[in-house]
Amino acid sequence: MTREELLQELEQLKDEGKYPNIDRETAQYMYDLIVDAQLTSIFEFGAANGYSTIWLAMAAQAIGGQVITTEWGKERFAVLLENLQASGLDSYVTAHNRDALEVIAEVDKIDFSFIDAMARQYIDYFKALEPHLSDHAIVVADNVVSHREKLQDFLEYVKMSPQYTSEELALGKGILVIRKK
Ligand SMILES: C[S@@+](CC[C@H](N)C(=O)[O-])C[C@H]1O[C@@H](n2cnc3c(N)ncnc32)[C@H](O)[C@@H]1O
């Protein structure tokens, strides 16, 4: 199976409601962001079966970067590893079957992060991420339209923090793109 066929198969599973993945438009947007700004050190909160992870890994491959991802569900983690192997990009990804909050505490500098795990915890993820963000870091948070109520504290925190600029884009379930000033 080619990588494109794998992506299409995963998109079909998403359309059937089996996995809550981002759509291709959002994935392509993040790919372009990472490649254009050469954001080589990438951290993902919530991989599920790895659709977004494969896109992050494609970007990492294009610029000589590396992805650290996290998925605490046992079954989903097993599927994630299978899909990463099928994509041929597993050497660009270190995947952890643990709480993302534990893993982020152990990493060094992060240039790009994708937050797509539990809505009520975005504020915790972001605060845990902050000490690791490099000067030119970009963070993308998913579901800011679909889960706006649950993300209120996070959205407020980002807006009130003078060291960031942020913009909301109407891609997929709504993403917030946060840039360090
Ligand atoms: C929306 S899905 C991720 C979809 C994936 N980013 C994609 O677009 O292909 C969210 C995933 O985060 C996982 N998750 C939630 N909280 C987590 C945590 N604290 N640490 C690790 N994984 C977590 C869930 O098990 C779920 O599979």
Q: pLDDT digits over 115-128, tens only?
A: 999 999 999 999 99
Q: pLDDT digits over 2-61, tens only?
A: 999 999 999 999 999 999 999 999 999 999 999 999 999 999 999 999 999 999 999 999
Measured in Å, residue 125 CA sits from the centre of ligand 1 at 12
Residue whose CB lies within 8 A of the most ligand 1 atoms, among 22, 118, 127, for a mutation test: 118
pLDDT band at 75; cut points 50, 70, 90:
very high
**Which ranges constitute the DSSP H helices of the chain?**
3-15, 24-37, 51-63, 74-87, 100-104, 122-129, 152-160
pLDDT band at 135; cut points 50, 70, 90:
very high
Nearest to 123 by CA among 108, 144, 95, 107: 144
State the pairing for strand pair 175-180/133-141: antiparallel
Counting every residue written for the chain, the total comes to 181
Give mean pLDDT, residues 125-143: 98
Counting from 1 in the atom list of ligand 1, the atom nearest the Cα of 10 is 9
Give the torsion sign (CA, 140, 16, 10, 44): positive
**Which residues surround ligand 1 with Cβ inside 6 Å?**
20-22, 46-48, 51-52, 70-73, 76, 99-101, 116-118
